[in-house]
Amino acid sequence: MDVYRIHKEPYYREPLSVVGSHRHGGRWNPKGIGILYTSRTPELALLETLVHLPALTLAELPQLWLTTLRLPDEADNIFWLDPTKLPAYWKRGTLGETQTILTDWLQAPFCLAIAVPSVILEIAYNLLLHPQHASFAEVEVVSQSPISLDSRLRK
């Protein structure tokens, strides 16, 4: 399965790095535990990136890069989280609340990836990859390319 990630220049040079999520935390992980956030489609990866960028003009944005990653084929490497099984606050909760939902997996990864619904579009999925799982070493960087944004996206 291929998954996608958008990197800001110059971070594309280390496409499997979890330093940012380790340092800052995110919706699904607290500071001090690094995981790799990816998306099922390039479009969702772009949307996830754009909603987290500050209000900048197109000219002020750093160069963005699309990275395609290939996950190992083992079917048990991905656990698909059902949004109906998530706590009611998962979309609007504070980071402190949502960062505890996956505590067991964060501490002892029973699979390479957990597929979580996107807050932006609940029917779309992001995949969280755990670097401490043995299969992480088999994640392959398939391609990387700079992307340019249509000016209509930053009105």
Measured between alpha carbons, how far is 77 from 112 in angstroms, rounded to an integer?
Answer: 5
Q: Do 27 and 98 meet the contact criterion of CB atoms below 8 Å apart?
A: yes
Q: Report the predicted TM-score, pTM, of the whole model to 2 decimal places.
A: 0.91
105-130 in b/e form (b: 16+ CB < 10 A) is: bbeebebbbbbbbbeeeeebbbbbbb
Measured between alpha carbons, how far is 143 from 133 in angstroms, rounded to an integer?
Answer: 23
User: pLDDT tens digits, the chain, 155 residues: what are they?
Assistant: 999 999 988 878 899 999 999 999 999 999 999 999 999 999 999 989 888 776 766 677 788 899 999 999 876 789 999 989 999 888 886 778 889 999 999 999 999 999 999 999 889 999 999 999 999 999 999 999 999 877 776 55
